[in-house]
Chains A and B, each alone.
Chain A
Amino acid sequence: MEPLPRWADMVLTPLISVLLAFAISALVILAIGENPWEALKVMVAGALGSSYGWGFTLYYATNFVFTGLAVSVAYHAGLFNIGGEGQAVLGGLGVALACLFIPWPHWSLALIGAGAAGALFGAAWALIPAILQARRGSHIVITTIMFNFIAAALLNHMLVNVLRPTGSMDPATRAFPPATHLPTLSQMAAGLGLDWGRHTPANVSLFVAVLACVLVWLLIWRTRLGYEIRAFGKSEPAALYAGISPTRITVLAMLISGGLAGLMAVNNVMGEAERLVLNAVEGAGFIGIAVALMGRNHPLGVALAALLFGFLYQGGGTLALFTQIPRELITVIQALVILFTGALDNMVRMPLARLFALHRKRGA
């Protein structure tokens, strides 16, 4: 069968999948006796209907861009990194330590320094599974998922026993010093004289995320290392024959992947909470898998998918906050989106390809 045109592959297929997922979600909402149209309106109004909603949607999307890119880079090397969650937890620890113990003169330097610390911690957390995979053949899916639990336990220990101020009930660090507070998008808009998204957490990290998308694209498709990563991911024996070292590529790809997941902490820890809390990552590491799947491991696709999941998160949160629809339903909608865009991809793709082939034949 002839391949789909590129735009249909990148845009049309996921779009139809998402619409199908929403259609089934509507049936589920009907089944619990609520009005799906009203629910959709609440979601859209809550997530996209005001600058306030956008402020949250973009904040969540920023998280998902980082974890989505993390999963994609590893995926190009044929590695399934399920450890984004743990790597982002460690990234949070790195960012928190950098913000608390280094006296930064200005937020821009703090962003660079703390971002580097977060990426370093995240990368270090991915290093051990990478070496175990490369040297011992311990499956990366198993080891990275186990490392998520170790990361949770480590963070718990650090927050409860080491970093928590005495007498504080909350297992969290003290607030970061004001010099490390990142400007939010609303503050930046206010600087331009615009009243945009007051009290929303979207911050300057959004631009870091966009930059990360560009850099990952350059890395994967425009550098020698990226070529080696892709070659290794497509066929290990062929890569070996071409003189590419599997150990080196496995370790490097996982370091970059872990570093991207760790970098997420500049958004949620430094940008939003301005202190490290126990529940900082909130599953963004796992959402990253869905984002990468849906974005077909392309940075542009990842960015768009992250936006969609940001919308689902914020819209879904609004839905659960202000209607009688239970929050579990949001999980159902997210699961359906993942199911249709990831697992049932060919269900849409094949008929679509046939349709295009038919059209082309008529055209010719």
Chain B
Amino acid sequence: MSIVKSLLAGVAVLGLVPVLAPTPAHADPALVFDLGGKFDKSFNEAAYRGAERWKAETGGTYKELEMQSEAQREQALRMLAQTGSNPIVTTGFAFGEVLNKVAPDYPDTRFVVIDTAVDQPNVQSVVFAEEQGSYLAGILAAMASESGTVSFIGGMDIPLIRKFECGFVQGVKATDAEARVIVNYTGTTPAAWNDPVKGAELTRAQKGQGSDIVYAAAGGTGIGVLQAAADEGMLAIGVDSNQNHMHPGQILTSMEKAVDNSVYEAFRLGVDTPPGVKLMDLASEGVRLSMDEHNAPLITDEMTAALEAATAAIVSGEIAVHDYMTDNACPVR
């Protein structure tokens, strides 16, 4: 009998019995990480930082879950919604399709999805203009390069990373039409996000082909890229978070995505988080280049002026950076 009881208790605790899960008056927010993502020193970790900042400032508590398998996405979202978490922030485009299924069943719960757009009345979609930030990184790379050859290392070969690549190449070519851009991807499986050794190898290979500036958009693999670039006397460009401090004086800049801010904002606004698409671009400072004391010696006045001019032109619409996602193609190579 006691076993049965404790089993039932376990089930109830897990919120697997919908009837036993009323919505509490005060709702805690929740943050859901994608498969194995939480501490990737990059995208997911930025989301975590945003949630921790909210926690430190408000003293509130939040729930967090990390996916273990594809089939669990729906399970996890339903569980959180049923136990009254609100809002529920999910990181990564893989949640898009699932939210289309789950969100209509919980109209009073606010969902936030980062990196893809979901058209539901209770979902906020946070999308970043990575092409704009990468364009600026390209300008900087072209100006800082002495060899006239720069390079890009992507993580897994997926559309999102091609968006980075395309923006970067456009920025380079706009500054120096003769410049050569070498592009490599780490792999075609999720392991490509966490392979610093291969990242370092690719960096050395690109150095061998004449590159002296390397831009890494590769999650945990980027750590190897930055390290190898520092060892080889190249300059590197970091991604997602400000990575300038990792090798001071040898990282030209970092292309920051304000993932932390969007999580923080959603947690702060709670159920009042407005639905619809929230575009994080240069104008809203959703993407930007990191400038701090670590890379100050590398940035000339000329570069600063060029960046300011390009930023103003992009914000005003004078320069339209092509977004790879619109037609699955990049105009320059």
A residues within 8 Å of B by Cβ? 41-42, 44-46, 49-50, 52-53, 56, 59-60, 149, 152-153, 155-157, 160-161, 164, 166-172, 175, 199, 201, 268, 272-273, 275, 277-280, 282, 313, 316-318, 320-322, 327, 330
Contact = CB atoms under 8 A, between A and B. Distances in A.
B299 interface: no
Contacts of A278: 158, 190
Interface of A is mostly: helix
28 contacts: A41-B7, A42-B14, A45-B11, A45-B14, A50-B16, A53-B16, A56-B75, A149-B189, A152-B188, A156-B157, A160-B158, A166-B326, A168-B159, A169-B115, A169-B116, A169-B159, A170-B94, A268-B71, A273-B70, A277-B70, A278-B190, A279-B35, A279-B70, A279-B190, A317-B68, A318-B14, A320-B66, A321-B66
Interface residues of B, number: 42
B70 A199 contact: no
Contact of B68 (A42, A49, A160, A320): A320
Contacts of A272: 70-71
A149 B96 CA distance: 27
Contacts of B58: none
A199 B71 CA distance: 11
B157 A41 contact: no
Contacts of B71: 56, 59-60, 201, 268, 272
A166 B66 contact: no
Closest 4 CB pairs of A and B: A45-B10, A156-B188, A169-B93, A317-B68
Nearest to A318: B14
Interface string B80-98: 0000000000000110110
Given A160-B159, A169-B159, A322-B13, 6 more contacts: A45-B16, A170-B94, A170-B116, A277-B70, A278-B190, A279-B70
Contacts of B160: 169
A149 B69 CA distance: 20
A164 B188 contact: no
A354 to B, nearest CB: 35
A166 B327 contact: yes
B325 A169 contact: yes
Interface string B49-76: 0000000000000000110111110111
A199 B158 CA distance: 30
B291 interface: no
A293 to B, nearest CB: 22
Contacts of A156: 156-158, 188-189
B159 A164 contact: yes
Contacts of B78: 199
Given A45-B7, A52-B16, A321 B68 contact: yes
Given A45-B7, A277-B94, A316 B68 contact: yes
A45 B325 CA distance: 43
Q: Which of B14, B71, B79 has the most CB of A within 10 A?
A: B71
Given A41-B10, A152-B189, A160-B158, A175 B97 contact: yes
A25 to B, nearest CB: 17
B316 interface: no
Contact of A44 (B7, B70, B190, B325): B7
Contacts of A49: 7-8, 10-11, 16
Interface in B310-329: 325-328
B159 A321 contact: no
Contact of B72 (A41, A168, A171, A317): A317
Contacts of A53: 16
Nearest to A43: B10
Given A152-B188, A160-B157, A322 B325 contact: no
